[in-house]
Structures are given as structure tokens and as C-alpha cells.
Structure 1
Amino acid sequence: MNILELSEVNAYYGNSHVLFDLEMAIEENDVVTLLGRNGAGKTTTLRSITGTVPRREGRIEFRGDDISDMSVEGISKRGIKLVPEERRVFPTLTVVENIQLAHELAKDPREIEEMFEIFPVLDDLRKNQGENLSGGEQQMLSVARALVQNPDLLLLDEPTEGLAPVIVEDLREVLGDVVDRDVTVLMTEQNVDFALDLGETAYIIDKGSNVWEGPVSNLRKREDLLDEYLSVGGGEAE
């Protein structure tokens, strides 16, 4: 059963057309990785799903209901949670306070202590303020804040961006634990190896349009696609 479907989605920033008839279908409990170069439209896709893109055409359905014109708050209450690339932890709140705040805002939250089981690094940092955490620790806290709200769909925007390789490995292990807990995940990621290790299904977009979709196991065999659409280049903001 599909938990999320995008049909002919066109997204704009002002008069700038960014997504072109984008199609996507995500099954419940799947881990989907959305791949493409910088500027391909990956982040815009997530922002379209959460309703933060100014205007759009097409249809976005979540659990069979049209959420295309819903408010950001309404979409979030439906159970879609985004972990943005910027992380956005509250700098003057402690780790546990950051998680508690997210917990209080949720209708049916997970237990706070479960977050410290999943993220043992954070367990040792409970009383540390957000501004005193490393980039990797902030990323884990951002995921924990989203996960404690017990989302039906977790959106991760470039989770390894700016992290040192050793921290990326720690994050890979932690997110592996997250996806093993029957959470449906849609992730954008520039680190192709990281994305393919975690993902089960892959989509590639280029210049705002679908160019390929299928099982990760199939994409691993397609060196032509990896070279054409996922080689490092660009740098244009999304």
C-alpha cells in the first residue's frame, strides 16, 4: 500500500519553475532515497510534500487523502515530519529539553527514553545545550526530535551534509536502527554510498524531472546512471 503519492507535481519559487510533472509513489515501511546533483530539485520535493514551497500544481496524496493545499501545520499533524538540512535545534535548550518540546507537541509520541536508546551519544549529552553540540550530535538530535513524535513518514534532507567521515559512519549505524523500527523514510542525500546502503528504493531526478526509479539493488548495477546523474558537480542551490 502506498503511503505517499506525487502526481504531476510542479513546484515554483516565485516565477521560477523548479519541479516538472514529478511522479513518486512510496510504500509503507519503505526506505526511499531521492538522488540527484545539487540543484536537481531534491530539497524542493521535500518542501512540496511538507507544504513549505510557495505554490504548486499537481496532486500529493498521503494515505489516500489529498494534502496538496493543506497548511504546513496540517500536514505535520497528519504525521509527516521533516529533518531539514539546517538541523534547527534550539541552541539554548538542552538535549533533553529539545526532545521534550517535540514530545509535548505530538499527539501520540514515542517514549523519550527510547530516543536515548536509539541515540546513545545523546544519552551522555542530556544536559548539554544545543549550541554546544557538534554537527553530528546536532544531526542526531534533529532526527530524535522528529522520531519522538512518532511520524508515519520521516523526511531526511541531506543528513550527512558537512559531517566528517567518521561521524557519517556513526550516523549510518543509528539511522539503520531507525529504519529497522518500521518507519517509512524518504531521504535526499549527496553521499551516494550512504544513500544506497540505507535505501531500498531509489529515485533519480534531474532538473526537476524523474529520470529513473527502481530498487536500489538494480541501481547499483547501473554505472551509466551513477556517472551521468550522480557524479559530483554543480553547486547550485536547491
Structure 2
Amino acid sequence: MAALTLEAINAYYGKAHIVRNVSFSLGSGEIVGIVGRNGVGKTTLLRSVMKLVPTVLGKVTLKGRDISTEATDRRVRGGLGYMPQGMRVFGDLSVEENYRVSAYAVRMPMALEEILSLVPELRDLLKRPAGRLSGGQQQLVSLMRCLASNCSVLLMDEPTEGLMPKMVERIADVANSLRGRGMSIILVEQNLALAEAVCDRGYIMEKGAVEAEGDFKSLRESGEFERLLGLGHNAKEKEIR
């Protein structure tokens, strides 16, 4: 059984048709990457899965259960987690309080100690206001909040944006650890080196639709990066400009 299946997802903001007929499945313990130029609908696709877009057509199935008509909070309680783009923390609350806010929203949250085994950097920061941490530390707090919901499928929207290389490596390490625990991840990422390193396969979006798919090595060697992302056939660029 697939962890998550999207069937003919179309998303609209008013009359603007942003996501066009996107369909794919995500297996248990699989990381799938979604890449593309800015503005092609990657973030809107994730928000559509979470029912955060005004109009979404199509079918979303979570662990065999049709959740297409369910509200966002029910999707979260059912096992969907969403790590939005940017530093999303409650700045005036402590790191531990940020965890508690998310943990209280579900019946069976992931234990704080279990999360700290994945992000031990936060152990000595639990009493500090999250807003006073570095950008990288805040991103780990944002990830902590997602994990608190004990999700089985995690949607990550450009989690390494603006981070130093060392923190990018940590995000990759944590993603791999979560996969080892059976969690499924959809990763929207501008850092192609990271996406290629951690993703089992990927999709390239253009104008709201999936234009190419496969493992990242094949996508690079086939010339799809050059055609759809503007990168050379043997490009070494780490990011999509």
C-alpha cells in the first residue's frame, strides 16, 4: 500500500490554474524530490495536499484512505506533516514550548526524547526562546514541530533555503534517519546536490505540471535538467537559479 497517492491534482487561486493534473504515489520509507524553477507550482502542490489552497480538484489518498474532502487538521491527525518554506517557529515561546504546542494537537505525539535523538543539537536549547536562535537552529525547531505530530508522511518545502552547508548536511542526515524509520517524505528543494543525495527519485515541474520523472542521475544524464531547469548537461550547479 502506498503511503500517499495523488491523482489528477489541480489547484486554483481564483481563476489562476496553478497545479495541473499532477499524479504520483509515494511509497513507505521513500523520499521523492520535486524540483523546478521558481513559480512553477511546487509549493502550491504541497499546500494542496494539506488542503491549504482555496480550490483543489482530484484525489488524495493517505495510507489507503481517501482524505480528499477532509480538513487540514484531520489530515494532520491522520499522519500528514508539513514543514513550510521559511523559518516557522513561535519566536516568543521556548524550544520545548514549540514542541508542546504541536504535540497537544494530536492524540499520540512523538516523544520529545525521540525527537532529540534525531536533533540532539536542540537538547541544550529547550528553555531558550526559539526566536533568539540562529537560522539553522530555528529550522531544526520547525522540523521538531512537524515531528511532534508523529506523522508518517512529511512534506518539506525547501528546508535548506538560506542555511550554511553544515546545516544542509544535518537536514540531509535527519531526512535519511527518518526514512530509515519508515517515514515517507516529499522534498521540494532548490539544492540539487542535496536532492540527488537523499531522494530515491524525482519529478521536475514546469508550468504547474510534471514534465519529467526518474532518478536524479538519469534526469541529469538525459538532458532534462538542461531542458527544464536551464542547467548544462554536465552541470555542477547546486541550486536552480
Shift of 1:196: 1.2
Matched, 1:94 2:94: yes
Partner of 1:228: 227
d(CA) in 1 for partners of 2:159 and 2:5? Answer: 23
Q: Residues 9 and 23 of structure 1 are in contact (CA less than 8 Å); yes or no, is this contact kept in structure 2?
A: yes
Give the alignment of 1:1-238 within 5 angstroms: 1-222=1-222, 224-230=223-229, 231=231, 232-233=240-241
Matched residues, percent identical?
A: 35
Q: What's the CA shift string for 1:125-182, capped at 9, x where partnerless? A: 1111111011111111111111122101011010011112232123222332222221
d(CA) in 1 for partners of 2:51 and 2:159? Answer: 20
> 3-state DSSP class of the match of 1:33?
strand
- Which runs of 5 or more residues in structure 1 are unaligned? 234-238
> 3-state DSSP class of the match of 1:122?
helix
Partner of 1:236: none
- Which runs of 5 or more residues in structure 2 are unaligned? 232-239
d(CA) in 2 for partners of 1:2 and 1:105? Answer: 25
d(CA) in 1 for partners of 2:153 and 2:142? Answer: 15
Shift of 1:52: 0.2
Q: Residues 176 and 198 of structure 2 are in contact (CA less than 8 Å); yes or no, is this contact kept in structure 1?
A: yes
d(CA) in 1 for partners of 2:42 and 2:166? Answer: 25
d(CA) in 1 for partners of 2:64 and 2:126? Answer: 39
TM (normalized to structure 1)? Answer: 0.91
Kindly report the root-mean-square deviation, in angstroms, between the aligned alpha carbons of the 2 structures: 1.5
Q: Residues 103 and 112 of structure 1 are in contact (CA less than 8 Å); yes or no, is this contact kept in structure 2?
A: no
Letter of the 2:63 partner, please give it. Answer: R
TM (normalized to structure 2)? Answer: 0.90
Runs of 4+ in 1 over 6 A off after TM superposition: none
